[in-house]
Amino acid sequence: MPDLPESAEVVIIGAGFAGSSTAYHLTRMGIHDILILERESIPGAQASGRNAAMLRRIVGLDPFGLLCNKGADRILGQPESTHQVERNCGSLLLCSTNLRRQFDQIVKQQEAKDSPCRWLTPYESTDQLSILEGSHFDSALHVPRDGILDLQGLLHFFLRGARSSGCRLFTSTPVLKIRSNRKGVHKIHTPRQTVETRKVINAAGAWAGQVASLSDAFPMNIQPFRRHLFRLTPGPSQSDHLPWVWDLGRSFYLRPDTGGWIASFCDEDPHLPCPPRVAPQAAFHLANTLTQHLPLARELSVDRSWACLRTFTPDRQPLIGPDPKLPGFYWSAGLGGHGVTTSHLIGELTARTIMGQPLEKPFDQFTPSRYR
């Protein structure tokens, strides 16, 4: 394995979507002397490679909701997007009448953007996705420009772009300590070598709080939550253009996967920052949720299950930008359940703060100093 360089202009901790996209955007902004240090033996080994891969643009009216909307546009607007999107299949968001009122404003905004969505009756929804037959819901928002992303395709697009412009990635290289002096960040210690740097980006996902504690940075309250995913079989025939479905009131989702379905009952248990195990009762909870609300799901059985961590700040908005206490320490963390959809934009916003540009409204609410 090659030695780490003695110094780098920027060191990024974590090769998930946050770290890889930030590296990509920094190289586009003219910074090339970048190191990405990743503890695992491959990039994207944690949440970024183990999630449900849904591109979901309609999430809410808060700044993070807006980030999802713009982030989805950013991914689809790239000329390379054909390699990053697995399926342009659309989605169905099942809503109660109350929820529908909340979403109406976003639907109008989408129309103004020439990216229309449409409310469907249960009957029309079942026509699109027959597994909804027998399910009781008031209406479904059909979002044609949602889809399913190619996780490896998108992650490697960022990494390839960054590495072809000088960025170096070192896997199996955990950061153990971040030393500072009077001017701020100074040195990064790993089990292999020590690297001098003036700028470090904490893109460590569920471990972001732990990484901050290796330094003199502000101790942010960052909480990982475990969520289970299941692959169910048999799958629908001709699944390529079937939309994925998310029941927003009763909190479950189901998305077609070749020869099966990927499903979740949207669980959210606080968890330590370590790879989570599958809970013994998880499959029972899934079966309970699905059979209660989707009678046809009785025909499905669990083929595989896994769990990974979604990571949140207390206000559920991400942390992007300079640490309020330690000069040279930057955050790109707390991406919650939409870190793939938002990845392109998150990386760009993080990179801009490293270039010394403040975040514009409403994304200025992601600034870490809000917790000071």
- Please give the residue ranges that form the binding site for ligand FAD (CB under 6 A): 13-19, 37-40, 45-48, 51-54, 174-175, 203-207, 211, 227, 229, 308-310, 333, 335-341
Q: Which is nearer to ligand FAD, 126 or 255 (CB)?
A: 255
Q: Which is nearer to ligand FAD, 126 or 328 (CB)?
A: 328
Cβ of residue 101: shortest distance to ligand FAD, in angstroms?
25
Cβ of residue 181: shortest distance to ligand FAD, in angstroms?
21
Q: Which is nearer to ligand FAD, 126 or 340 (CB)?
A: 340
Q: Which is nearer to ligand FAD, 103 or 244 (CB)?
A: 244
Q: Which is nearer to ligand FAD, 126 or 129 (CB)?
A: 129
Q: Which amino acid is at 134?
A: G
Q: Which is nearer to ligand FAD, 126 or 169 (CB)?
A: 169
Q: Which is nearer to ligand FAD, 126 or 313 (CB)?
A: 313
**Cα 196 to Cα 5, 10, 13, 161, 186, distances in angstroms:** 9, 9, 14, 24, 6
Q: Which is nearer to ligand FAD, 31 or 47 (CB)?
A: 47
Q: Which residues of 89-119 are buried (b: 16+ CB within 10 A; e: fewer)?
A: bbbbbbbeeebbeebeebbeebeeeebebeb
Name the phi and psi angles at 324, rounded to 5. -70, -15
DSSP bridge partners of 311: 224
Q: How many CB atoms lie within 10 A of CB 18?
A: 33
Cβ of residue 198: shortest distance to ligand FAD, in angstroms?
19
CA-nearest of 213, 208, 212, 183 to 198 is 183
Cβ of residue 333: shortest distance to ligand FAD, in angstroms?
6
Q: Which is nearer to ligand FAD, 174 or 236 (CB)?
A: 174
Exposed/middle/buried for residue 258 (C-beta within 10 Å: 0-12, 13-18, 19+): exposed
Q: Which is nearer to ligand FAD, 39 or 352 (CB)?
A: 39
Q: Which residue is nearest to ligand FAD (CB)?
A: 339
Cβ of residue 335: shortest distance to ligand FAD, in angstroms?
4
Cβ of residue 45: shortest distance to ligand FAD, in angstroms?
5
Cβ of residue 261: shortest distance to ligand FAD, in angstroms?
14
C-alpha 348/C-alpha 148 separation (Å) is 22
Cβ of residue 352: shortest distance to ligand FAD, in angstroms?
18
Cβ of residue 123: shortest distance to ligand FAD, in angstroms?
27
Cβ of residue 174: shortest distance to ligand FAD, in angstroms?
4
